[in-house]
Chains A and B, each alone.
Chain A
Amino acid sequence: MPEKPIQGEKRVFMTGNEVVAWAAAAAEADIMYGYPITPQNEIMHYWTRMLPKYGRRFLQTEDELSAGFTTAGGVLAGRRAFTATAGPGNTLMQEPLSMAEAMRLPVVVIVQQRGGPSTATVIYSQQEVTLTTLGGNGEGLRVVYSTATHQELFDYTIKSFNTAWKYRFPTFVLGDGYQAKMRESLTMYDPASRGITMVPTEPYVGMAGMPGVDREPTHLRNTYNVEEELFEVLENYLADYAKAAPEIAEYDAFDTDDAELVVISHGVVSRACKAAVKELREEGYKVGYFRPITLRPLPADQLRDVAGKAKQLLVVESANGQLDRLIKEVIYGNTTEMLSLFKPGVGITTEEVVARVKEIKG
């Protein structure tokens, strides 16, 4: 029996990609299928170095279509399987993830966002929000965690496997190029040492027994003959998703109760926003901070509550309104003024957020 990757707790200083590889190992992930694309490459670099020590597996595929479909195959075989990608790779991966959505396959994908559209930059952006939350030719029945720190990359990579296998929807950890490449301190831990039990996996195909004799054969498909047949399947899926959404949704917020203006952001941008809100509060501005941790499903009730209390919402993101659109959808009907600070493909500093709020408030 190979040793556990992490015994108890361990304080470390490492890059985000390294953190993801360690987290997947700690989460008892069995196999990674992947195709190189910057800035997620080091996830597979570190994973492949760990393989022999912890008895894990890896397949480097011919492209992201294959990486997504082989990951689906790994899940079908009952393994805790995952992949990682970015940018154009994320675009290609929407095809296999549509199948995962159709078959309710608990595929886990780490996305380290880079600039877009197309090849754009290999560095950073928050421009893969729309694609990751709603990509594919379906209804976006998937879970997307947006991380802000290396600690969260570790925590939510572990959590993503449990969410995926508990609810059976494809689950994403949405990081970015900054998180992928920078070093930061965090505490790594064995999930069991914190009372986290990994949700057991089970095979969809290749179980014991003679199919058709001892048990029914598995006959999985994503094709339906008539509209009504598909409608019935989707009705059930949508009901499952609606039931799970409030259980899955997560957020972080402070100073929203008496705030006239609430700054909304996600991912690493929320770190700049958090500092900005604290600074502005000290200067007497009635501002609040709200950050959805799950972008799909969004914490809809909490967002409506915040929008109902504040006079203004300032959405800050390194994209041209991808988070903004998702928020407007869930607070539809609210007359709170929507303001923005959008910098597609570029990082955002505390100073810029402070300046934007002061510009609004005069």
Chain B
Amino acid sequence: MSVQPAMPKCWRVESKPHKFCPGCGHGLVLKALGQAIDELGIQDKVVFGCDIGCSLLSWDFFNVDTVQTHHGRTTPVITGIKRANSEVTGIAYMGDGGGYAIGAQHLVSAATRNERITAILVNNTQYGMTGGQMAPTTLPGQKTETSPYGRDVNTAGYPTQGPEMVAAITQEGAYVARGTVANVKQLKGFIKKALENQMAGNGFSFVEVLSTCPTNWRTNAEDTWKFVEQEMTKYFKVGEIKVPGPREKEGQ
């Protein structure tokens, strides 16, 4: 008799098995998010927004109110909801394209305004749903459909360091972390703190998650984990980058 691992309580059983490709990291991110929602007991408070791209496949993932938006526009939709109803816990769920390319101005502005929302950005170093094109997070030398000879930093620039940017432009009260699907327990902790930070009304909360795309990476199981655990972490450092509290003054 096999024992299935327990699903988070707020997962919607009717929409499982989910729609993501086998080996995709989204299921693990959404598991961590589901566990965090369960532990905080906020299933009836959460409004979940998802972007275009692979993240849109989470539109009926949870038994929580959900709105699937446009590419890059999830942050303003959740901002609009939260501004109109401060009782909800607003989660904007997006990919690296939605947050760092087409929706970058929204991420930057929400961060600088210290919007009381939680943004979760899944970084898989390329555009998954559209077929594996280069993303702002594609690693130097990484091959994609639009960088077939590898990302050339002289012409395409360097990968976006999202959490570092958000940490730099947010004021006190913000929470910023980078987790990975290779450590779901730690990731759940980051997401939980990001949600708690919003619930406390402190400020903008942002978690980037290093994630997998074996479809477009063209990797087998072993190489997929090697890429997310070893290659991505050389460039994208996992850990908490900013926690609420006053900024350190010069000389302290």
Binding site for B on A (CB under 8 A): 30-31, 33, 57, 59, 61-63, 65-66, 69-74, 76-79, 81, 95-96, 99, 103, 203-213, 217-223
Q: Which chain A positions have C-beta within 8 A of B70?
A: 69, 95-96, 99, 222
A103 to B, closest residue via Cβ: B67
Q: Which chain A positions have C-beta within 8 A of B47?
A: 76, 205-206
Known interface pairs A69-B70, A217-B12, A223-B56; A211-B44 also in contact (CB < 8 Å):
yes
Q: CA separation between A160 and B4, bound complex, in Å?
A: 53
Known interface pairs A74-B80, A220-B66; A63-B105 also in contact (CB < 8 Å):
yes
A30 to B, closest residue via Cβ: B84
User: Which among B57-65, B165-173, B199-207 touches the partner chain?
Assistant: B57-65
User: Which among B71-79, B132-140, B189-197, B235-243 touches the partner chain?
Assistant: B71-79
B88 at the interface (CB under 8 A from A): yes
Known interface pairs A217-B64, A217-B66; A69-B73 also in contact (CB < 8 Å):
yes
Q: CA separation between A287 and B84, bound complex, in Å?
A: 51
Q: Which chain A positions have C-beta within 8 A of B124?
A: none
Binding site for A on B (CB under 8 A): 10, 12, 43-45, 47, 52, 56, 59-60, 62-70, 73, 76-85, 87-88, 105-106, 108-109
In the bound complex, do residue A206 and residue B87 qualify as a contact, i.e. CB atoms below 8 Å apart?
Answer: yes
Q: CA separation between A207 and B47, bound complex, in Å?
A: 10
B74 to A, closest residue via Cβ: A69
Q: 23 A-B contacts, Cβ less than 8 Å apart?
A: A30-B84, A57-B83, A59-B79, A63-B105, A65-B76, A66-B73, A66-B105, A69-B73, A73-B76, A76-B80, A76-B81, A76-B84, A77-B88, A79-B84, A103-B67, A205-B66, A205-B88, A210-B44, A211-B44, A212-B43, A217-B12, A218-B66, A223-B68
- Select B77's contact among A57, A73, A78, beta carbons within 8 Å: A73
Q: Which chain B positions have C-beta within 8 A of A31?
A: 83-84
Known interface pairs A203-B85, A217-B63; A62-B105 also in contact (CB < 8 Å):
yes
In the bound complex, do residue A99 and residue B65 qualify as a contact, i.e. CB atoms below 8 Å apart?
Answer: no
- Select B80's contact among A70, A207, A220, A221, beta carbons within 8 Å: A70
Give chain B nearest CB distance to A136 CB in angstroms.
12
In the bound complex, do residue A77 and residue B80 qualify as a contact, i.e. CB atoms below 8 Å apart?
Answer: yes
